Structure 1
């Protein structure tokens, strides 16, 4: 049994609220760990920005979280991981892990045809980060990037309905699985589903995309597996905390805190609670001016 006793929070950073899919996985698998989540909703989406911009955003958030005494940082955003993981690991005073390497491992474990599609933001696809991560594990796997510039906006717009989201979900079912979304998803996936390519696994290379999983599965059809990085990232996090003897004590009641650059805290709370699976009880606003000081 690994030594325990580091009750400092795990820092989780995302461009908005999609990273709460990762935070939820952590809270479920590591129930004694506290989470300090930062969502840079004001500057979302990151996928249409330059790499240098995103790198600066990652460092700002990382320094802010480090100043709030986290023990490790998770970049729960594929675009931010692709652009900023390396420099964050070099510059920040805490360990930093991203979501791309875990997603790559999940894809390698899934594929049988050794042909993998990566559905991600344009910037993540442009960086080639998933291609490198997958081929580092298995050089014989072919990787087909599929940029999805509209998906984050689709998710964020739906989540903006806030307090009515849970009610609509209970009444109507999956509110993201609409004819309009199915049409947009099918159009986006078309290039990697052409006959003869033979993809059998698609990685959801953005933490917003699990919310569109039903339209995505409908477009892919039977025989194509969909994998995301949240669970694999949680496994990597657990391994690191065990190895560094930094697990929280077993009798600790976790305290989850949330911060956002959004000007609409109520909207962030409602949508975030829906994704996280429990109420976001402690939310603070961070101004961009404050982040600019880090």
Structure 2
């Protein structure tokens, strides 16, 4: 057993959708969350910059004496080289392989769409992962660069006209390909779950990458005998790199519950 905290990071607050799932399935675990809100989004940055930012995020969490790391960021998950993540002193999970496995299991016709940031789609990480699982699939991707901004600004209501138009525009090429499954390849996107469902007429299976990643965290802890033996509910510490004045209000939307843990503004070096 290991009572140290789970470390989770994202470029902004989207990773809180994964924290929400961790709260559900691992309620006795402590969590340290880092949202790099001062530099969100990562998806429009160069590969070199994304890797540098990810390493800074990871270094911060490791200094917190965490027992494992979840990269709850589609951009980092699809960009950080394996030779870096495999050499970390703690187990590392990202959102790509868990979501790819779920999509391959759920797709009836093997026509799978992927939406994410520019960097995520350019990397083709989800496509490579899925082709390694199923040889019969066809993968169709489309970047959605506006959606992180819209979600971070709270424009998540299913009837929000601006967000609906943006999602519809991004989904049109995938609808034409007659996809039967869609990976939400960014942890911000589950906040737009109903918007995606409406536009797809509820006929496409949506894969919540944050939810899949949370299950992978649980499986990793189980496999390595690292679950907490704590009997009381765990705590969550929140760290952000920009202002914290509006954090509680915005974060509670991602979490689906009020923020109860400490909130800190930190600098990354």
TM-score by length of 2: 0.95
Distance in structure 2 (CA, Å) of the matches to 1:249 and 1:73 = 19
Q: Between Structure 1 and Structure 2, how many residues are aligned?
A: 268
Give SS of 2:86's match. Answer: helix
Question: Residue 98 of structure 2 corresponds to which residue in structure 1?
Answer: 102
Residue correspondence of structure 1 range 14-163 to structure 2 within 5 A: 14-84=10-80, 86-158=82-154
1:257-276 aligned within 5 A = 257-262=237-242, 264-276=243-255
Partners of 1:96 and 1:88 in 2: CA distance:
10
Q: How far 1:87 moved relative to its partner? A: 4.3
Assess if the C-alpha contact under 8 Å between 2:157 and 2:192 holds in 1.
no
- Kindly report which structure 2 residues correspond to 1:157-196, keeping only aligned pairs within 5 A, or say none: 157-158=153-154, 175-194=157-176
Superposition misfits of 4+ residues, deviation over 4 angstroms: none
CA shift for structure 1 position 40: 0.3
What are structure 1's unaligned runs of at least 5 residues?
160-173
Q: Does the Cα contact within 8 Å between 1:74 and 1:98 map onto a contact in 2? A: yes
Q: Tell me the CA shift for residue 99 of structure 1.
A: 0.5
Superposed displacement of residue 282, structure 1: 0.1
Contact 1:113 1:198 in 2 (8 A): no
Once the 2 structures are TM-superposed, how far is the Cα of residue 180 of structure 1 from its aligned partner?
2.2
Is the contact between residue 158 and residue 176 of structure 1 (CA under 8 Å) also seen in structure 2? no
Distance 1:51 1:231, change over 3 A: same
User: Which residue is 2:196 aligned to?
Assistant: 216
Q: TM-score, structure 1 length as denominator?
A: 0.87
Judge which range, 267-276 or 203-212, deviates more.
267-276
Cα distance in 1 for partners of 2:119, 2:225 equals: 36
Aligned to 1:164: none
CA separation in 2, counterparts of 1:12 and 1:28? 15
Distance apart, 1:86 and its partner CA: 1.9
